[in-house]
Chain A
Amino acid sequence: MLGYTIKRLLQMVLVLWAVSVIVFLMMSFTGDPVFMVIPIDSTQAEIDQARRILGLDRSMLAQYGIFIGNLLQGDFGRSYVFGQPAMELILERLPATMEIVVLAVVIAAVVAIPLGVYAGANPGRASSRAIMSGSLLGISLPGFWVGMMLIFLFSVRWHLLPSSGRGDAVEVWGLRLSFLTVDGWRHLILPSVTLSLGTLAILLRITRAGMMEVTRQDYMKFARAKGVSRRGVLYGHGLRNALIPVVTIFGLQLGDLIAFATITETIFAWPGLGKLLIDSIYRADRPVIVVYLMLVALIFVVINFIVDIVYTLIDPRITVK
């Protein structure tokens, strides 16, 4: 187990290094950042000087050396637009994104797992078929369009919920959080529901498939014969075993949610990471894009790592080589 953990940790470092190379290469092909930092009427000498200060006059390899050196020291540069350290900007926005992502995960799990268990345990019923068609429809929907429709109905038509922004936030240990105020909740609902739909549909399908597999097993029949209630068998014996693939998908989905948050945040003008990223892409604010990418890469490899470890813990049949 220890050997496996160390091997996976080394792999994580390797992946992060690969990402740093790719990020560096992509950034070098996306226009000249010099023009982001100098006034429009600069002379050639000023341009050259700015280039020297940014280290852009050196060879690619030397530039990569500086880039990775700075990354390792935790120096991610300053945003060209805000003049603030890029890392600070990102960390400032992270709680807002985590709020909608976590709430989306909770919504997805609370709705999808019971529905998936029901559809898996009663495959023939019309209601199960309706649930499955509904989930397929959920996968076929463009998420951003659903968000727009929610805005149209709940904000424009019925004036029930706000369409943009984060509302009142409370500061707790230096983090600005919305979910502690009523106004914050009103702002949270629509973006989180929008974000949760895709995950909800996938989670539901995986839970159902797992349940269908599990209900055929002998231990399920045995538990029933022993006198355990149907409900007890489904949730106590069935769901526990059906959940194994759900854990994997959950990990992957968490990554997807962070990615799709970019779109949701753009629609709802939610001041999180995703909106910052899109704004930075429009303004070619390279340092911010780099930190975002590296941070997201880090989050992904850590999630994958945790999923792999959890996997071996919940399913004793899986032995590590």
Chain B
Amino acid sequence: MMSGFWTSEFFHNWRHNASAIAGSTLLVIFAVIVLAGPLLVAQDPYDVGSLNLLDSYKPPMWLDGGESAFPLGTDGQGRDVLASIFYGTRVSVLIGVSAMVLSCLIGTALGLLAGFYGGWLDSVIMRIADVQLSFPSMLIALFLMSAFGTGIDKVLIALTAVGWVVYARTVRGSTLSEVNKEYVQAARVAGLRDGKIIRRHILPNVLTPVIVVSTVQVGTFILIEASLSFLGVGVPITKPSLGLLIKNGFDVLFSGLWWNSVFPGLFIMALVFGINLVGDFLRDELNPRLK
């Protein structure tokens, strides 16, 4: 199995694609930050006892007045910016990935049902999707959040409410083209129950586009969450994501304290850029039409 992967066309193409390698490298770095972030920095930025107000607004270490203990400087409470970013990255990635998984499960299930059964169920699901798609996701999420109030769980609900549509549409399309193929008819003739046909036979055949959509969607979700938090209707201040860090940095930007907002922004950029590079590669690789 493994040796098959190393000699596969997929791996060969990956090895010869500079952007795919760059993207994967970025994602590996972020995976390390998410998994081991707290071990890599000395300070827990949300343990008030470890903060010292005398350390506040120190510039990055390469500037006058910077200290090597705070490589990217500190904020108004003497919090290490790098440590805040590592903790914030965890929140951002956690939200992006969980919301993607939730949207994917719900959207894929609805898409399968709509495509397999058709009829009124199909009409209802697809009309809802149509109405929703005529609005930008950002706006829908913003309104849901303004109704819910802040909180990680609420951000997840809002993002899922926005995100399921893409899966439902994609999966319904692929299901429609699978459902009349001979292997599905054969399964029906063999007397398999609908649930089993959908799970065992149709699902594996419609998963490829789902993988592509999922990758890119994590990036989109991270950006939407950042925007919501920037507007003050995202995550609570006790658990800041990268977006909320940027917002906090914005308040002191006018006094020239740029490192509080520049670095979290660079991290979001690198993270989403990595996701998009890998997403682009997967789309080209997994799309049979382009081959």
Contacts and interface: CB of A to CB of B under 8 A. Distances in A.
Contacts of B253: 148, 151-152, 156
Contacts of B268: 142, 145
Contacts of B261: 145, 148
A142 B131 contact: no
Interface in B195-234: 219, 223, 226-227, 230-233
B272 A281 contact: no
B135 A140 contact: no
B277 A136 contact: yes
Contacts of B280: 136
Chain A interface size, under 10 / 10 to 19 / 20 to 34 / 35 or more: 35 or more
Interface in A134-152: 136-137, 139-145, 148-149, 151-152
Interface in A255-269: 255-256, 258-260, 262-263, 266-267
B227 A296 contact: no
A142 B92 CA distance: 13
A68 interface: no
Given A156-B253, A256-B138, A145 B273 contact: no
A293 B261 CA distance: 31
B136 A259 contact: yes
Interface string B137-157: 011001110110000000000
Given A148-B246, A156-B256, A255 B136 contact: yes
Contact of A263 (B227, B272, B277): B227
A142 B219 contact: no
B135 A255 contact: yes
B32 to A, nearest CB: 20
Contacts of B147: 26, 29-30
A53 to B, nearest CB: 24
Contacts of A139: 272, 276
A297 interface: yes
A262 B276 CA distance: 25
A43 to B, nearest CB: 28
Contacts of A267: 250
B56 interface: no
B19 interface: yes
A133 B130 CA distance: 32
Contacts of B256: 156
A266 B231 CA distance: 8
Interface in A1-52: 15, 18-19, 26, 29-30
Nearest to A151: B253
B5 interface: no
B77 to A, nearest CB: 20
Contacts of A148: 246, 249-250, 253, 261, 265
A266 B275 CA distance: 28
A140 B273 contact: yes
Contacts of A301: 134
A300 B272 CA distance: 28
A140 B231 contact: no
Interface string A50-65: 0000000000000000
23 contacts: A19-B131, A26-B143, A136-B277, A140-B272, A142-B243, A142-B246, A144-B226, A144-B227, A144-B246, A145-B226, A145-B268, A148-B265, A152-B253, A156-B256, A255-B135, A255-B136, A259-B136, A259-B138, A263-B227, A282-B232, A289-B146, A296-B139, A301-B134
Given A145-B226, A152-B262, A296-B139, 5 more contacts: A140-B269, A145-B265, A151-B254, A156-B254, A256-B136
